[in-house]
Chains A and B, each alone.
Chain A
Amino acid sequence: MSGERFLSTERGERLVADLTLSGVRVYAPVEAQGRTEYGLIKDLREAALGGPLPGMSLKSLFFPPTEPLFRWRQSGSEVALEAVPTTFEPMVILGVRPCDAASLAVLDGVMGWDYKDELWFGRRQAATILTIACPGFDDACFCSAVGLGPDASKGSDLLLVPVEGGYHVEIVSDKGAALVKAHPACFSDPRGRESAEAFRQQARRRVGSNLEIDPHRVRAWLAGHFEDRFFDGLGLRCHGCGACASVCPTCHCFDIVDEPEGLLAGTRRRHWDTCQTGKFTVHASGHNPRADQNPRFRQRVMHKFWIYPAKFGDVLCTGCGRCTRACPAGQNLLEILGQLDRQPQQIPEGMTS
């Protein structure tokens, strides 16, 4: 269940080699053509562990941009449905950032809500998450402001903290314990506890200085101020381009489409969608309740910081900062959250958050 270990760099290479040999897919941040993304590796040396935050979040590995839901085939008046597999080959993801690991646990809420998403949970079950604590990436990080942190273990199975010669390992979950147990040659007695603690403190200080808010205060204000003029104009520079939603580890809206192959067969698929596009809320009548970018941008903020936590307890944001980095128009979520946090609290009578 809990416990500490040490993983040296060499033993880390051995771990990846052993896993790969036994047929486990290993993913890690990989650098290619000037970009760092989570990708498949065969050797630890292919990984860019101390490098930049991967551009796209971890959600692609659990909730791919497009995936088949089932296939159909018609013969006469009979329609046969072919289900897609919901169990997956084991995978280990190494070098996950705490913000990305946490997003998996946050999304478990909606994915298990009114319908248990077998594809999501199938992949969750198959994956072991080896998080490496982050020193704090840049001035757009704000994980600590939303109740997490650069060394948070939420969503992780093992938490690795960089120390001299390797990583101090904290076993977070049963799955993490099982991995350690299955590779006794790789994990040795704990070492570098103090050094790990110092790393964590420094990282927390660094990220903490980017933004300090009280998410509960923000939520309470949002709950009582849906029509507030604060939101007028937030949509002005926003293009509604959806870049923020595509890089976000917690955005999860999707559309479902049928793709026929000939007249008698086809595939039903789902793919990523975003509330930031104009047609997201268009009704069949043609009416659009979110007719321009102002209410659409408001929706993004409301959903992430009030509606989702009211339903599932977690803020729908892990403070990774990708939206702020990716936005071509310079929208800045840290700035917006800071402003929201400072709004005077006047919650109307009887209104609960």
Chain B
Amino acid sequence: MVAVSESREGFEPRITAFVCNWCTYTGADLAGTSRLQMAPNVRIIRLPCTGRIDPLFIVKAFERGADGVIVSGCHPADCHYSEGNYHARRRFALFRELIEFLGVDPRRVTFSWVSASEGAKWRDVVDATAETVRDLGPFDAYRQPAGRTACAS
């Protein structure tokens, strides 16, 4: 594993979070109304269910400038659509294995189950992710590669 690097002076990671409407989004809202202080680096994108999250969303977030991604939804057995998170669980497990195999640090993607009543847990996930990704540094290796091609010149 790559050693955790010194964070660049003043670097604040940009983190995109894909969260399900019924659990994590509501839990994040609870964190807000409870005035819990948390790292400000996260932008939330609300989806009906983690089962809707295509791994391409995560890839796209990295392409567009995210240094880290959070994917969060309902605990198993609590999915609003009964099974969405079970499908998501398999999908994300394989996605994680794949990116690690290709050489992307899997710590850049955090997966969590956060329920509607777990405002504090959401805060913990956000803070922990911000800290981890701050240490990992900007994900330039992913953003730059538009310049690398098969062409020798």
A-contact bits for B59-82, CB 8 A (1 contact / 0 none): 000001000000000000000000
Q: Tell me the dominant secondary structure on chain B's binding face.
A: loop
List of B residues within 8 angstroms of A88 by Cβ: 153
Chain A 217-275 residues near chain B, CB threshold 8 A: 259, 262, 267
Tell whether A187 is near chain B: CB-to-CB under 8 Å: no
In chain B, positions 128-148 with a C-beta closer than 8 Å to chain A are 146
The contact size tier of chain B is under 10
Please classify the interface of chain A as helix (H, G, I), strand (E, B), loop, or mixed, using the class held by over half of its residues: strand
CB distance from B62 to the nearest CB of A (A): 14
Instruction: List the B residue with the shortest CB-CB distance to A68.
Output: B146
In the assembled complex, the CB of B2 is this many whole angstroms from the nearest CB of chain A, namely 24
A-B contact count (CB 8 A): 30
Contact of B152 among A27, A262, A267 (CB under 8 A): A27
18 example contacts (A-B, Cβ-Cβ < 8 A) are as follows: A25-B153, A27-B152, A38-B152, A39-B152, A40-B152, A60-B150, A60-B151, A60-B152, A61-B152, A61-B153, A64-B150, A64-B151, A64-B153, A65-B149, A65-B151, A66-B149, A88-B153, A262-B64
B145: min CB distance to chain A, Å? 12
A91 in the interface (beta carbon within 8 A): yes
What 1/0 flags go to A63-74 for Cβ under 8 Å of B?
Answer: 011110000000
List chain A positions with a Cβ less than 8 A from chain B.
25, 27, 37-40, 56, 60-61, 64-67, 88, 91, 259, 262, 267
Q: Which residues of B contact A (CB under 8 A)?
A: 64, 146, 149-153
The 5 closest A-B pairs by CB, nearest first: A64-B151, A65-B150, A60-B151, A66-B149, A39-B152
Chain B residues positioned under 8 Å from A65 (CB to CB):
149-151
Closest A residue by C-beta to B65 = A262
Complex Cα distance, B146 from A37, in Å, reads 22
Q: Find chain A residues with CB under 8 A from B153 CB.
A: 25, 40, 61, 64, 88, 91
Q: For residue B146, which residues in chain A have a CB less than 8 angstroms away from its CB?
A: 259, 267
Chain B positions within 8 Å of A66 at CB level: 149, 151
Contacts of B151 in A (CB 8 A): 60-61, 64-67
Min CB gap A145→B, angstroms: 29
On chain A, the residues within 8 Å of B152 by CB distance are 27, 37-40, 60-61
Identify 7 new A-B residue pairs, CB closer than 8 A, beyond the known A27-B152, A64-B153.
Answer: A39-B152, A56-B150, A64-B149, A65-B149, A66-B149, A67-B151, A91-B153
Inside 8 A of B150's CB, which chain A residues have their CB?
56, 60, 64-65
Which B residues lie within 8 Å of A259 (CB)? 146
Residue of A nearest to B147 (CB): A68
A91 contacts which chain B residues (CB < 8 A)? 153
A208 to chain B, nearest CB (A): 32
Most buried by A among B64, B149, B152: B152
Complex contacts, A64 vs chain B, CB 8 Å: 149-151, 153
Give Cα distance in the complex from A267 to B152, angstroms: 21
CA distance A5 to B12 in the complex (A): 63
Q: How far is the CA of A219 from the CA of B151 in the complex (A)?
A: 33
CA distance A262 to B151 in the complex (A): 26
